[in-house]
């Protein structure tokens, strides 16, 4: 295909499932409902963590960061996605595409680091309980959160600059729901080996290494828990880690499938569903997972709802 050396086109066409309009209508309804639940669930987590003094702990500090991140992540993607699903117009402006890629990459990279930091917090809580409050002091919490956010957006800045310096093919048809790096690389009209290698390096730094550190932390946690003699003690220890581990499996599992997969038509269609899963479904599941598996959050939510109800009655 003949390409043009346009680094700043008018915009892009996000194909998504444009060849299946009936599926698009179903997705429009389903994603709209999930997006509303995501906004409500993550906002509730942030509110109860802030308003309830009992939840002013390292675990809920990081959970609030995760919920805020999920709110920003879905909001950077879903409104544009819903607009494209509702009709034949599938375009996104060049500036909109740059911003979407930059924000989504930054927040996705931040979540990889943040989930690693949360695993470190659980490691200290279970393996070093006597020194936990000394190790996880407020200044360290703020520093760890800052490292997660700053490192995520430094990586995003590098990737975004490299992607949009590529000469793009004249059709500008992106075979995805959003401006995602693998899909944008595919429409470049030059050899992209360097950028693909750079992306592989970023995957190692922000996916493979964090996942390895998380698994190492949980290896230490399991070894410590198995030393606990009481069944109740083991159950409680595993309970504090279960929610985080489920979120890790869902997030990293889909990220690995999207960014480390063979290039074929078959996997591309599956890749679109995986993209939908980690950009739309996973952020809505995070508050649900932490609420269902955590008595403290359920109690705090119930208290917040009852207090609002009582204030209205008065």
Q: How confident is the model at residue 6 (pLDDT cuts 50, 70, 90)?
A: very low
Place 193 in a pLDDT band, splitting at 50, 70 and 90.
confident
Q: Higher pLDDT residue, 296 or 173?
A: 173
The rounded Cα 291 to chain-centroid distance in angstroms is 18
pLDDT of residue 195: 87
Cβ 74 vs Cβ 140: under 8 Å? no
- Residue 311 pLDDT grade (very low, low, confident, very high; cuts 50, 70, 90): low
Q: How confident is the model at residue 152 (pLDDT cuts 50, 70, 90)?
A: very high
Residue 268 has a pLDDT of 61
- Looking at the structure, give the CATH architecture of the domain made up of residues 7-301: Up-down Bundle (1.20)
| % of the chain residues with pLDDT over 90 | 41
Helix axis angle, 231-259 to 209-226, nearest 10°: 170
Which pLDDT belongs to residue 263? Answer: 56
d(CA 297, CA 287): 10
pLDDT recorded at residue 89: 80
> Contact, 104 vs 135, CB < 8 A?
no
Return the pLDDT at 107. Answer: 95
The mean-pLDDT minimum among 8-17, 271-280, 299-308 falls in 299-308
The three-state (H, E, C) secondary structure of 247-296, written as one string = HHHHHHHHHHHHHCCCCCHHHHHHHHHHHHHHHHHHHHHHHHHHHHCCHH
**Residues with Cβ within 8 Å of residue 176, at least 6 apart in sequence:** 14, 15, 16, 183, 271, 272, 275
Nearest to 217 by CA among 302, 116, 146: 116
- pLDDT of 71 > 90? The answer is yes
Q: Is the pLDDT of residue 139 over 70?
A: yes
**If pLDDT is split at 50, 70 and 90, which confidence band does 11 have?**
confident
Q: What is the pLDDT of residue 2?
A: 40
* pLDDT averaged over every residue in the chain: 85
> Residue 306: its pLDDT value, please?
66
Question: Averaging pLDDT over each range in 8-17, 47-56, 141-150, 196-205, which range is the top one?
Answer: 141-150
Per-residue pLDDT reduced to its tens digit, 91-113 = 899 999 999 999 999 999 999 99
Percent of the chain's residues with pLDDT above 70: 87
Lowest mean pLDDT among 81-95, 111-125, 138-152: 81-95
Q: Binning pLDDT at 50, 70 and 90, where does residue 261 land?
A: low
- The most confident of 40-54, 146-160, 161-175, 223-237, by mean pLDDT: 146-160
């Amino acid at each position: 295909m003949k390409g043009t050396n346009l680094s700043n086109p008018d915009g892009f066409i996000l194909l998504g499932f444009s060849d299946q309009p009936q599926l698009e209508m179903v997705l429009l309804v389903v994603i709209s409902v999930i997006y509303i639940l995501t906004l409500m669930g993550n906002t509730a987590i942030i509110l109860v963590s802030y308003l309830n003094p009992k939840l002013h702990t390292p675990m809920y500090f990081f959970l609030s960061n995760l919920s805020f991140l999920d709110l920003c992540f879905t909001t950077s993607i879903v409104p544009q996605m819903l607009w494209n699903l509702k009709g034949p117009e599938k375009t996104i402006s060049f500036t909109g595409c740059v911003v979407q890629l930059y924000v989504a990459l930054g927040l996705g990279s931040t979540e990889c680091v943040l989930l690693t930091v949360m695993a470190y917090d659980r490691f200290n809580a279970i393996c070093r309980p006597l020194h936990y409050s000394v190790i996880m002091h407020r200044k360290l919490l703020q520093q760890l959160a800052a490292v997660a956010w700053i490192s995520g957006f430094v990586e995003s800045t590098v990737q975004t600059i490299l992607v949009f310096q590529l000469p793009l093919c004249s059709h500008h048809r992106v075979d995805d729901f959003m401006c995602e790096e693998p899909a944008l690389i595919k429409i470049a009209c030059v050899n992209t080996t360097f950028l693909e290698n750079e992306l592989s390096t970023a995957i190692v730094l922000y996916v493979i290494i964090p996942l390895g550190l998380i698994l190492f932390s949980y290896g230490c946690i399991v070894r410590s828990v198995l030393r606990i003699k009481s069944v109740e003690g083991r159950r409680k220890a595993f309970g504090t880690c279960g929610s985080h581990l489920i979120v890790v499996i869902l997030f990293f599992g889909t990220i690995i499938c999207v960014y480390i997969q063979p290039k074929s038509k078959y996997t591309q269609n599956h890749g679109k569903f995986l993209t939908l899963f980690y950009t739309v479904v996973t952020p809505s599941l995070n508050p649900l997972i932490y609420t269902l598996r955590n008595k403290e959050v359920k109690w705090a939510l119930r208290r917040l709802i009852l207090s609002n109800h009582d204030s209205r009655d008065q």
